[in-house]
Structure formats: structure tokens, C-alpha cells
């Protein structure tokens, strides 16, 4: 009779002991996946920031090229006008 009284307690103890390792392993796996996702997000942010900086630089260079082309066009028009007058 004493065995019947302790059997559920022993079985519950064994069950908890075996599942505790599984839960810990699962928690570690979830933590590892979360950390990996955070690292991927940080890398994506860095790449996006770098792409944005490069786009800004390209815009500045484009504006400078546009001004240079406009100035060259103005000079060419003046030279053409001077040549027509002669």
C-alpha cells in the first residue's frame, strides 16, 4: 500500500526531471533564434544606412554634374553668339 501512495509522486518527479531538460533546451534554441534574428536585423539596418548614404552622395554628384552641364551649355551658347556676330 505504501508503494501505491508514493508511485504518483515518483512518476511526477521523473516526468518533471526529464522535461526540465527539454524545456531548457527549447528555451536555448528559441534564444539562439531570437539572437540570430536580431543580428540579421542589425545587419540589414547597417546595409540600409550605407545604401542611403551612397544614394545621398550620388544625388550630390548628380546635382554637381547638372550644374556643370548647364554652365557648359551657357558658355557654348555665348561662344555661338559671338561667332555669329563676327
Q: What are the pLDDT digits (tens) for 11-68? A: 677 766 666 666 678 788 889 999 999 999 999 999 999 999 999 999 999 999 999 9
Q: How far is CA 54 from the centre of its chain?
A: 16
The pLDDT value given to residue 6: 63
Distance between CA 11 and CA 5 in Å, rounded? 11
The pLDDT value given to residue 24: 76
pTM: 0.57
The pLDDT value given to residue 16: 66
In this prediction, residues 72-81 reach a mean pLDDT of 94
Distance between CA 71 and CA 10 in Å, rounded? 91
Amino acid at each position: 500500500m505504501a508503494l501505491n501512495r508514493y508511485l504518483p509522486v515518483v512518476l511526477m518527479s521523473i516526468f518533471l526531471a526529464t522535461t526540465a531538460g527539454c524545456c531548457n533546451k527549447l528555451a536555448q534554441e528559441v534564444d539562439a533564434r531570437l539572437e540570430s534574428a536580431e543580428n540579421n536585423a542589425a545587419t540589414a539596418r547597417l546595409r540600409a544606412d550605407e545604401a542611403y548614404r551612397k544614394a545621398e552622395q550620388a544625388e550630390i554628384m548628380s546635382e554637381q554634374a547638372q550644374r556643370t552641364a548647364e554652365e557648359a551649355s551657357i558658355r557654348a551658347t555665348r561662344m555661338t553668339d559671338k561667332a555669329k556676330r563676327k
